[in-house]
Structure 1
Amino acid sequence: MVNKYYQPYKPNLDFSGLDHIVVGSGIGGLTVATWLAKSGKKVAIFERHYVPGGFTHSFKRKDGFQWDVGVHYVGNMAADSSLRGFFDFLTDGKLEWEPMGEVYDVANIEGEEYIFKAGKENFRKQLITYFPKEEKALDAYLKLIAKTNKRASIFFFEKIFEPWFSKSVGWIFRKRYSKFSQKTTWEVLSELTKNQRLIAVLCAQCGNYGLSPKNSSFGAHAMVIGHFLEGGYYPIGGADQICEKTLAVFTAHGGKIFINADVTEIVTKNNRVQGINLGEKFIPCKSVISNIGVNNTFNYLLSEEDRKVCNFSLKNVQPASAHICLYLGLNKSSDALNLPKHNLWYYKHDDIDEIFDEATLENAPENFAYISFPSAKDPDWEIKNPGTATIQAISVGNMDWFEEFKDSNWMKRGEEYLKLKKHFEAEMLKILYKFFPQVEGTIVASEVSTPLSTENFTNYKNGEIYGLAHSAERFTLPFLRPKTKIKGLFLTGQDITLVGVAGAMLSGLLCATAILKFNSWKIFKEVKRSKNSGFGI
C-alpha cells in the first residue's frame, strides 16, 4: 500500500542536495527533522523498518486489531503545558490528546490496591489515606521530586553548550544535579522513610524507566514520576498518530522519509561527516543525525578510528531491561467489558528488586505484570472498531532466555520458540483473569512479542526498548550530547535525554537547537505564541 508521507528506499532515487540526513524515525528523529524542515533545510529520514515511527508506531492485523508497541500514556499534555506546545508545533496542532481521567495508574502489591490520582495534591491526599503516619515523608518526597526536576531541566539544557562554555560553566549544572542523579532511587527513598510498602508504592511505576529501585538513578525516577503527576493522556486515534501527524508537517515542508532503508555506515573523512552508505549506495549530505541509540551508532555505523575520536565507551553502563508483551483482541467493547482507562501495575510482593533480579521466563508474569487498555483510552476506537477492544499485558524479559533462537529469523523461529511464547501467554492470562475475569471467553486474537522481536525491528542487541539503562552512571557520560566530536555528526533520541515520548522529543528539540544555534530561537518564538513553553517534560 502506498503511503502519502513515505516511500520505500530505492538506490536510483534522487538524493542530491541534502543538508541533513536523519537515521531512524523515532520521535527524537522526527522532532529534529521537522524543526530543521520548518527552518528551510533539506532533510531526509532513513528508516530500516517497513513503517516509520520507532516506538510510536502501531502494528495492525487483517482482523482489524491494532496495538501500540511503546506508547501507553503520556504526561504533561494539558492544553496550557509546555510539552503540549512543542507537540502542537510539530503537528500544527492536529494531534489531539484524551485525558485518562482522575485515576491514571493503579498499583496492586500483594493484594493491596493503591490508586494514583491526577494532580499533585490529589496524589498526595490519596497516598496519605494509605499511609497516614507517613505524611511528612510524602511531603518531603514531592518537594524532592520538584527540586530534582528543576535541576534536571538545566542539566539537560546544558547539553547544547559549546565545549568551551560547557567546561567553564556547564560543570556547575552537572555537579548540582549529581546530588540527585548519582544516588539510586532506593537510597533516596530510604532516607525519607523506613516503610517498605510505601517505598514499593512510590516505585510501582518503575517499569516506565525500566530499572528497579536499587539500580535506577533517582534523577530518572524523579523525571518520570513528575511527568505523570498531573495525570496521563493518550493520543486520540492511537500512538501511531504521533508519527502520522508529525510526518504530515515534515513532508509539507519538503522533508522526505524512506522506509526499508538500512543504513550500513556513516561515512567520515578527516573527522568530518561526508554522508551515509546503504549497502554500496553512497548518499552525501552536510550532516548526519543518528536516532538509533548510541550503541548502534558507534558500534555499528562508525569506524574504530571514529570511536577513538569521540572517546566513546559504555563499559560501565548496561542496556536497559527488555520485556515480553501479550497483545490481545477481544470481541466485545471496552464499555461492555467495563475495561478501565487506567493502567494496572501488579507485583506479587513489595520487594521489587527481588522480582526484577530473580525473574525467569517461567515466573515473570506470576510476579510482575503491567496491563494497559488502549481501546478504553482512545475515544476513536469504538467508532472505527465497534464491538471490539484491545489489551496489552507486559512483564520483564531477558534476551538470555531466548539465546538458542538468536540466529533464527523473525516469524520463522520454530516450534520450541512458539511453545515458550504460548507458555508466557497462558501464565499472563492467569493474572489478567484474576483482576479482570469478565475478559475470559472474549479473546479472539493474541500475539506475543519477546526481546527477539524488539531486536529484529530496532537492532537493539539485547532487546531493550529504553536504550541505555537509567542508572546513575548514565548521567556521567560526557558524550551523551547532541553534538559529537566528529564535525557534522549529531545524536538524538532517548539516550541523549531520558526515556519515553517526552524525553525523546526533548532530545530532538535540543539537537535542532544545537544545529540551528541562534536561528532556533525564531522557532521558539513561534511556539511561544500559543503556549508558555519551557524545557520541562
Structure 2
Amino acid sequence: MALIPDERVDVVVIGSGMGGMTAARLLAEFGGKRVLMLEQHYTPGGMTHEFTREGRYHFGTGVHYLTAGPGPILNYLTDGRVQFHRLPDDFDVLHFPGFEFAVPASEAAFRARLKARFPHEADAVDRFFAAARKAARGLTARNLVSSAAPAIRAAGLPVIELLYPDTFRTIADVAARHFRDPALRAIVSARWGLFGPPPATSSFGGHAMIALQAFMGGATHPVGGPKALGRAILDGLERFGVVVRPRQRVHEITVEAGRATGVGVEDRATGSRYRVSAPCIVSAVGARNTASLLGPDHGASWERELAKLPKEVATILLFVGLDRSPARLGLDGANHWFMPDIDDDQGISRPLGEGILFVSFSSMNNPSARWHTVEVMQFVDPAIFRPWLGTEQGARPEDYSALKAQVTTRLIDRLDRQWPGFRAGVAFAELATPLSFMTYQNSVDGAFYGLATSAARLRSPIARCRTDVKGLYLSGQDAWGPGIEAAPWGGIMAANAALSWRQAGRMWRAIRSPPAPADPSAPWRGHMRVSQVEPLTPSARRIRFEPLRGGELPFRFRAGQYVKLELPIAGDMVERAYSISSAPGERHFFEITVKREEHGLGSTFLHRELAAGEALRLNAPLGDFTLDLQRDLGSGHLLLIAGGVGITPIVSMLAAAAHAGHRGRITLLASFRSEAEILFAEEIGAFAKRLPGLDAAIFVTAPEAAWQGPRARIDREALRPHVRDVVRVHLCGPAAMMQATIGALTELGVPRDAIHTEAFVSSRSRTTRIETAQVIALAAAAAGIDDFRIRLRGGADFACRPGQTILAAANAAHVPFGQSCGEGACGRCRARVLSGPFVTDGQALFSAEEIAAGHVLACQTLPKGDLQIAAPGAPDDADQRSPDASPSRTARRP
C-alpha cells in the first residue's frame, strides 16, 4: 500500500479493539466521516483475534465467554450475523479449599443456592443482591455523567457518589458489611478476574455490574470462535468505508493550541514515517498509552493523574491443545475458578502456577471447533517479569524460557490433580506472559483490562471519553469499563461526544431499535450442524445440514441454488460451493451431494474428515441456476442434462416439479462413468411415478456387460430425439461434456439463450491460474512493464497489473462489471476479447465456436498485454449471444 506523506481524513481511530471498531463504525455511519483506523498488530480486531498452532488448535486471546445473548450493542455491530452457543446453566464453578460452589444462570437461583448453603444469612443474601442492583445502576450513572461536558461532570459526580456509595466502595468492604461467614464472602466476591484486581482494590460497582448482574442470565460463547465477532464487525466497517490499516504504530498525537490535529505514524512493515491530519482523534489504546503519545505540555498532567491510580493486574495464560474431548474427564463446558485461599487478596500473591486460576474450555462451547482447546489463566503482578523488559520476542534469555517451562508443567500437574487423566490428553501447550501481551497487544505492563477498576478510577478525570484536549476522545475499556462487552460502550460514548446532536440522536435510535426481521429468501451466513452423512456411491456422499438448535432453516432456497461452505483445511479456511440436492419444500434441513475428487481439497475434507455432529459456517442460498415452472416454462418442454455429480441441482428441480404437481413434458438425460457411480436412481424412479410427463434416460460411458441402458455419451445424436419443442434447457456437468453439449444443442437449433448452465470448478484450475499469474508478473517485471491497459469498447479504459484478472482490475478501477461467484462458474462476468494476448480458463460455459470468437470469463482471464474487450450489451457486441442469459453457479467444487 502506498502511503501518502501528509494524509488528511476526518477521523483517526488509534487501535482496532472493540472500542475502536465501535467508534469507527458509528462515526462513519452516522457522521458520514472518512475514518482511518490504525492498528499496530498485523491482524485487526483487538482481543477478538485468534491464533492457530499446529494447523489445528485455534485459541482466542481475550474472549472466553460472554453474557447470555449478544445484546443490542453486539447485535448491532455484527449486524446480527454472529451466533452464540449457551454454556451450561451452572456456567462458573468455584473451587475453594475444602468446598465448591457452582454459579447458576439466574439471580433467583443464585440467591436460592446461597440461602440453602448459608441459611443463617438468608436475609442478608437478599439485601446484598438489592445493593448490587443499586450499585450497578450507580456505575452506569457515573459513566454517563463522566462522559458529559465538564460542567455537568463536575457537578454530577459528587451527587452520584452520595446517592450510590456502594458503587465506590471495594468488593471486600461491601461483602463484609453484609455477611459474617468468610465462605459466603468469598463466594460473592469471586470472579473479579472478569474485570480487574482482587476484592480489596476493585470497586463494588464494577463487580455488581459484571459478576452479579450481567451474567445472571447465563453465559454464551460465539459460534466460530472470537474471530467471528471481529470478522463481522470489520465487515461492517468496510461497508461504511472505514479504512483499516494494520502494522501501523502511532508514535505521536499532535496538539496545536489545545486541539488535536493529527497523528504521527510509523509503518512497521517498512519503517517509514508519515503524518495523518484529522480534526478528530479517537484513542482506543487505553489512557496510559494515550498519555505517552501526547507531548509534555499535555502528557505530563495525564501522567500525574494516572500515577494516583493503582497498578493493573496482569496474567499468564497457558494455551493447551488436547487430543481428546474434555467430556471424557466429566467436564461439560463450564468455566472453573481455582482459589487456593479463601481470601483472594492472599491467593493472588502466590507463586506462578500456584495462584488463582481461571480455566475455560472454549472448544466445548464452539460447535465449529474440530480440536479441543483449554485456556488456563493466572492473575499475576506484572513486576515479576520486569527482569526481561526490553528483550525481544524470540530472543529472550534462557532463564525466561526455563521459567515458562516450569510454570507450564506446574499448571498441567495442578489440573491433572483436579481431573486425573488431563495430562495424558495434552498434545500441545504454550505459555503467554505479560511480555506476550505487551508485544502483541501493546498492553501497558501486559495488563489487558486497562485501568484498574478501583474507586480512584471512578473519581479520576482521566477515565472518561472526553479529554482536556479538544478533538481527542478516549474509547474502549478506559472510557467505560473493562471487558469485551463494556469496551463498545466506550466507543459509543466517544462517538456520542464527537457527533452533532442530530447525528447522535440517529445513532441512539438505530442502536435501540430492534433488528429488522431477516428476509428468508436473502442469503444467510452462519453455522449449521452436520446431522447426517450418507454414502451414495463409492465416490459420492450425501451430507445433511440442520440449524444448530433445530427448528426451521433460517433461509428458503429454490431448486438449482447452491451453498458456499467454509472448510478448515491446512490451518486455514477454504471456501467451496456445492449444489443443494434436497427438495426446496423441506424446511428443517438441506442436503448437498459431494463426489470425492483425487486432488480436490474440499471434497477430500468432506469425505475423509467431516463427521456428523460437527458444524460448518456457510452462506446460502446463492445462485440463479433456477427454474420458475410457471414463468419460465408454462406448458413447454423442459430438457435437463447432467453429467456425473452435476445431477445434484437437477434432482432438486425434479423434486420441486413433483411437489408442484407439474404435468408438462420433462426430459432428463443423465450420464455417469459406471453403473456404480449412478446417483439418485431410486429418487428418479420415484419422480417418474409423480411426474406423468417425465422421460428419463441414464447413459453409462464405461458400463459392465450386464448394463441394459445407453452405452455412450450424450452427444448430438443422443440429443436429437429430445430437442423438439424445447423451451428451456438446464445443463450441468464437467467442462468437456458441457462444451460439447452446448455446441451440439446449438447445431440442433436450440436457441442459445434457452440453454442455462452451471460449471464445475477444479482446485487444480485455480492452482494453474495462480502459477500462470506469477509467470506473467515476472515476465512483465523483467520487461519493465508496470501495467497493461484494458479498453472496454464504448466504455472505460483502465489499468491491469500483470498477474491480475480482467475482473480484478475492473473492480480495482471501480469499473462496473457483471459478477457473482468470481470463480469461473456463474457466467456473469462473461466478455469477449476483441484484440490482445491473454490466457484463460473456465471455458466450460462456452461452445468451441464461442471460444474461437474470443468469449471469456473476466474472472478467469489473465491479460498478457493490452486488451480491447466487449461485455454483453456493448454496441459492438449486441449480436453476440452470452453463454448464459441468467447467472449460474458452481455445481460442485472438488
Over the matched positions of the two proteins, sequence identity in percent amounts to 27
Deviation at 1:336, TM superposition (A): 4.7
What is the TM-score normalised by the length of structure 2?
0.55
Q: What's 1:315 paired with? A: 307
Q: What's 2:39 paired with? A: 47
Which of 169, 191, 194 aligns to 1:208? It is 194
Q: Secondary structure at the match of 1:194?
A: coil
CA gap 1:60/1:147 in 2 versus in 1, 3 angstroms: same
Aligned-residue CA RMSD (Å)? 2.0
CA gap 1:487/1:402 in 2 versus in 1, 3 angstroms: same
1:497 equivalenced with 2:485 (yes/no): no
The answer (yes or no) to whether the contact 2:252–2:294 under 8 Å persists in 1 is: yes
1:377 equivalenced with 2:365 (yes/no): yes
Distance 1:151 1:58 in 2: 35
Distance 1:102 1:416 in 2: 43
Deviation at 1:12, TM superposition (A): 2.1
Q: What's 2:747 paired with? A: none
Distance 1:167 1:470 in 2: 20
What residue identity is the alignment partner of 1:119? S
Q: Secondary structure at the match of 1:52?
A: coil
Distance 1:174 1:219 in 2: 11
Identify, as 1 or 2, the structure richer in helix.
Answer: 1
1:522 equivalenced with 2:506 (yes/no): yes
Q: What's 1:293 paired with? A: 286
Distance 1:312 1:293 in 2: 16
Distance 2:265 2:429 in 1: 36
Q: What's 1:282 paired with? A: 275
Deviation at 1:17, TM superposition (A): 4.2
Q: What's 2:206 paired with? A: 220
Q: What's 1:404 paired with? A: 387
Distance 1:348 1:174 in 2: 34
1:127 equivalenced with 2:114 (yes/no): yes
Deviation at 1:171, TM superposition (A): 4.2
Deviation at 1:318, TM superposition (A): 2.3
Deviation at 1:143, TM superposition (A): 0.5
Distance 2:508 2:256 in 1: 34
Matches within 5 A, 1:250-269: 250-269=237-256
Matches within 5 A, 1:12-411: 12=3, 16-39=7-30, 40-75=32-67, 77-78=68-69, 84-169=71-156, 171-177=158-164, 179-225=165-211, 226-279=213-266, 280-298=273-291, 300-307=292-299, 313-356=305-348, 358-361=349-352, 365-381=353-369, 385=370, 388-411=371-394
Comparing 397-406 and 48-57, the one that deviates more: 397-406
The answer (yes or no) to whether the contact 1:309–1:486 under 8 Å persists in 2 is: no
1:287-331 C-alpha deviation (Å, 9 max, x unpaired): 110011111111x21011123576852122123101111100011
The answer (yes or no) to whether the contact 1:60–1:67 under 8 Å persists in 2 is: yes
Distance 2:329 2:169 in 1: 43
CA gap 1:487/1:367 in 2 versus in 1, 3 angstroms: closer
What residue identity is the alignment partner of 1:443? V
Distance 2:444 2:103 in 1: 34
The answer (yes or no) to whether the contact 1:312–1:479 under 8 Å persists in 2 is: no
1:204-236 C-alpha deviation (Å, 9 max, x unpaired): 211112322112211121112211111111111
The answer (yes or no) to whether the contact 1:310–1:486 under 8 Å persists in 2 is: no
Distance 1:452 1:246 in 2: 28
1:512 equivalenced with 2:512 (yes/no): no
Deviation at 1:63, TM superposition (A): 2.5
Q: Secondary structure at the match of 2:444?
A: coil
What residue identity is the alignment partner of 1:281? Y
Distance 1:191 1:427 in 2: 37
Distance 1:122 1:517 in 2: 45
What residue identity is the alignment partner of 1:258? R
Distance 1:149 1:244 in 2: 31
The answer (yes or no) to whether the contact 1:328–1:443 under 8 Å persists in 2 is: yes
Deviation at 1:173, TM superposition (A): 2.8
Q: What's 2:418 paired with? A: 435
Distance 2:246 2:469 in 1: 26
CA gap 1:335/1:196 in 2 versus in 1, 3 angstroms: closer
The answer (yes or no) to whether the contact 1:33–1:45 under 8 Å persists in 2 is: yes
What residue identity is the alignment partner of 1:379? P
Deviation at 1:191, TM superposition (A): 0.9
Which of 426, 444, 466 aligns to 1:461? It is 444
The answer (yes or no) to whether the contact 2:131–2:166 under 8 Å persists in 1 is: no
Distance 1:313 1:15 in 2: 33
What residue identity is the alignment partner of 1:282? R
Q: Secondary structure at the match of 1:481?
A: coil
1:484 equivalenced with 2:467 (yes/no): yes
Q: Secondary structure at the match of 1:391?
A: strand
What residue identity is the alignment partner of 1:525? R
Larger radius of gyration: 2
Q: What's 2:624 paired with? A: none
Distance 1:128 1:431 in 2: 31
Distance 1:310 1:176 in 2: 28
Deviation at 1:457, TM superposition (A): 1.9
Any gaps of 5 or more consecutive residues in structure 2?
Answer: 267-272, 517-894
What is the TM-score normalised by the length of structure 1?
0.90
Q: Secondary structure at the match of 1:345?
A: strand
Comparing 315-324 and 186-195, the one that deviates more: 315-324
The answer (yes or no) to whether the contact 2:202–2:453 under 8 Å persists in 1 is: yes
1:333-389 C-alpha deviation (Å, 9 max, x unpaired): 344554321110111231211112x3223xxx33422111010111111xxx2xx20
1:219-276 C-alpha deviation (Å, 9 max, x unpaired): 1211122111111111111112221110000111101111110111011111111111
Q: Secondary structure at the match of 1:499?
A: coil
Distance 2:66 2:315 in 1: 19
Distance 1:44 1:319 in 2: 31
What residue identity is the alignment partner of 1:49? H
Q: Secondary structure at the match of 2:478?
A: coil
Deviation at 1:406, TM superposition (A): 1.4
CA gap 1:323/1:488 in 2 versus in 1, 3 angstroms: same
CA gap 1:399/1:173 in 2 versus in 1, 3 angstroms: closer
The answer (yes or no) to whether the contact 1:50–1:260 under 8 Å persists in 2 is: yes
The answer (yes or no) to whether the contact 2:413–2:423 under 8 Å persists in 1 is: no
Any gaps of 5 or more consecutive residues in structure 1?
Answer: 1-9, 533-537
